[in-house]
Structure 1
Amino acid sequence: MADGYRIIGAEMSPYSVKVRSYFRYKAIPHQWILRNAASQVEFEKYAKMPIIPLVVTPEGSGIQDSTPIIDAIEKLYPEPSIHPDDAVANFISALIEEFGDEWGNKWMFHYRWARDVDQISSAGRIARMRGPKAGEQEHAAFAGQVRARMVDRVWFVGSNAVTAPQIEGGFLEMLGLLDSHLASRPYLFGRRPAFGDFGLWGQIYEMWTDPTAGAIISGDAPHVLDWVHRMLWPKAEGKFESWSTLQPTLMPILTEQVGTQFMPWTSANEKALAEAKEEFSVRLGDNIWTQKPQKYHARSLGMLRTRYAGVADKAALDPVLEATGCLAALRA
């Protein structure tokens, strides 16, 4: 393993491509290994959880979960940094990374499995990835199994008849806000990618590869489309911006998306888990959101609170978080 890292992942996994993009930006030597039957033995040797991506280090240890992977590698390869020097921008980047991972995944998973055209496309690609040498009949049978299994799992991200319009309307709103923000900069926090870029981009990149969401992104959001392409091989084109120049177009995203949608949801999800509820409802803006609680999200919320607690001087940060509706959940 002395020749570099090995990333075992999948092209259709937003967390896998997120980590791959990060390794490419850092110019860290690595191999991209598809998770399939051929890599299963190595995966089982190093994985502690049945999730991708798995990063196998040159020393022969395994790291899983995209955010901890990036945190661990960033300590070893601190330059070029993915964390803005500006204290407010630094934490907001981490907040958007969490938002992308957890709330953006609802957009991605819903759009991928809500309509026949996307189900057929996605199931076929997954089946071909897992069985590249399968004949047409075997491939069709496997694709049908994948489709049935994944469509049955949309409840996991909260997609149902009630929430579907909320998910799609929220994504369209976010796409417009994001396109406006990216109209004057190549990356979310200036002229180089930040932590937040990788988390949010992984979900939107996957959406771009699917028929329905891909057509929406390509047709309605040219600056987002450029960013999607740019983040495949990101590079530093200059410096991070200060919060004062980011604020005019980033605050609407924080207020209307993160503070109004994501933070109330993740707080309610945590409360439902603590009370052992099988289902919970929470008001998000003008709508009531109902779904089964998700265990992992409570853990990731705890990690975000730890990041917030680690901010030494919160004098400039807290007013921003308060104005966007994010502060109470971070202090809980």
Structure 2
Amino acid sequence: MYRLYLNTMSPYGAKSCAMIGYAGLPCEVKIQNIVSRFATIKRLTGKTMIPVLRRGEWAINDSSRIARFVQERTDRPLLPGDPALAPICWLLEDFADEWIALWMLASRWTHERDVEAMEEGVGKELTGGLPLVSSAVGRIAASGIQSLIKKGGAAEVNRAALERSRDRLLQALESLLETPPQYLFEAYPTMADFAFFGPLSQYASDPTGRDKMRMYPNVGEYLECMERMKLPHPSVSAHEAPSREVGALAPLFAEFLGTYWRVLLANHRAYSTPERPERTSVELLDGEAFSFRPSGYYVARLEFVLSQLDAAYAEREELFGGKGLEIEHALVQQVAKLTDYEAGRELLRGYAHIGKPAK
């Protein structure tokens, strides 16, 4: 029996909880508290980061690592039926983990009523609901979380940019889910679906997000289906529907290219300069500026994205087909920006299949 350590307010915990439930891995859920945070989680992994999947003295953290571990141990599919689409699925998984989660966290920690709800919830979970102590612990934990996420860009200065991205993404999803299949790629959920579920379900649980989500009933139904898959009593229903044409996903990739991808490129250029700036900014697709601190972490994310694009182009001459040629050309143009400076050109040399012209 495995154990999944999480807190109920984590998008990555929600993602892992639903994915493991769907996969059928024998697993019980343990809600993190102050004792387990250090006596178990940090002892086994060296970090206090959750979720953590444990079996005896073995443990792994990070929801994407957990996802790949679970994928190897289930008979249920977690990637699209067409193997050539697996890299595209992983791209959307990364987009959700890094960008959708960012605007969810920004909303949660910049709206007063959401902050108050989080302080109360975090305090109760960490202390087991001890009176007086839980509220103090909640305030301290909330302050630390706010400081941490600001470094990643979830700050007041980026609020307008993130809210516009949120609105575009939710509308694109609402339109996509108007027609079958029930999930992004197939009649069953994939890694991308679970990654979307994490931050979107958390956003829908916050006071501000709950009000906003009433505008998107298809997205709400999508989240409810995935909510039922969560541990400890997952309910998985079988559906029949054809696979979604990959071109239909072009609006999601337009948002990916116009936001997260631009941040990754700007980060790489800034991080690669000898006089690395303390902060940099980039213009997103709607003209809004996004300000952030250059980091090696974002360099690693760019390398991952390029590896998935390279794998996708190794299998397909076109990612999206005829209806997605506009997005295809935009993607090639964005990749070409790496050729504008030496560090970018050096990076691209490791990815031989990217940038083949779409026919």
Alignment TM-score, normalising by the size of structure 2:
0.82
- Map 1:42-191 onto structure 2 (within 5 A): 42-57=40-55, 60-77=57-74, 79-87=75-83, 89-135=85-131, 137-185=132-180, 186-191=182-187
Deviation at 1:34, TM superposition (A): 1.4
Deviation at 1:17, TM superposition (A): 1.4
Distance 1:301 1:240 in 2: 34
Deviation at 1:240, TM superposition (A): 7.2
Deviations 1:67-97 (A, max 9, x none): 12111221232x2111112255332211110
What is the aligned-residue identity percentage?
Answer: 22
Distance 2:46 2:316 in 1: 36
Distance 1:296 1:209 in 2: 28
Distance 2:62 2:301 in 1: 11
Corresponding residue number in structure 1 for 2:335: 328
Whether the 8 Å CA contact 2:93–2:191 is kept in 1: the answer is yes
Whether the 8 Å CA contact 2:33–2:125 is kept in 1: the answer is yes
CA, structure 1 residues 298+50, in 2 after alignment: closer, same or farther (shift >3 Å)? Answer: farther
CA, structure 1 residues 252+168, in 2 after alignment: closer, same or farther (shift >3 Å)? Answer: same
2:6 is matched by which residue type in structure 1? G
* Structure 1 vs Structure 2 CA RMSD: 2.4
Whether the 8 Å CA contact 2:264–2:301 is kept in 1: the answer is no
Whether the 8 Å CA contact 1:156–1:292 is kept in 2: the answer is yes
Whether the 8 Å CA contact 1:190–1:239 is kept in 2: the answer is no
Deviation at 1:100, TM superposition (A): 0.1
CA, structure 1 residues 104+240, in 2 after alignment: closer, same or farther (shift >3 Å)? Answer: farther
Distance 1:200 1:75 in 2: 21
Alignment TM-score, normalising by the size of structure 1:
0.88
CA, structure 1 residues 318+116, in 2 after alignment: closer, same or farther (shift >3 Å)? Answer: closer
Distance 1:228 1:150 in 2: 25
- Map 1:228-243 onto structure 2 (within 5 A): 228-234=223-229, 235=236, 237-238=238-239, 241-242=242-243
SS class of match (1:184): coil
Whether the 8 Å CA contact 2:161–2:289 is kept in 1: the answer is no
Extract unaligned runs of 5+ from structure 2: 230-235, 339-346, 349-359
Distance 2:176 2:101 in 1: 21
Extract unaligned runs of 5+ from structure 1: none
Q: How many residues align?
A: 322
Corresponding residue number in structure 2 for 1:22: 19
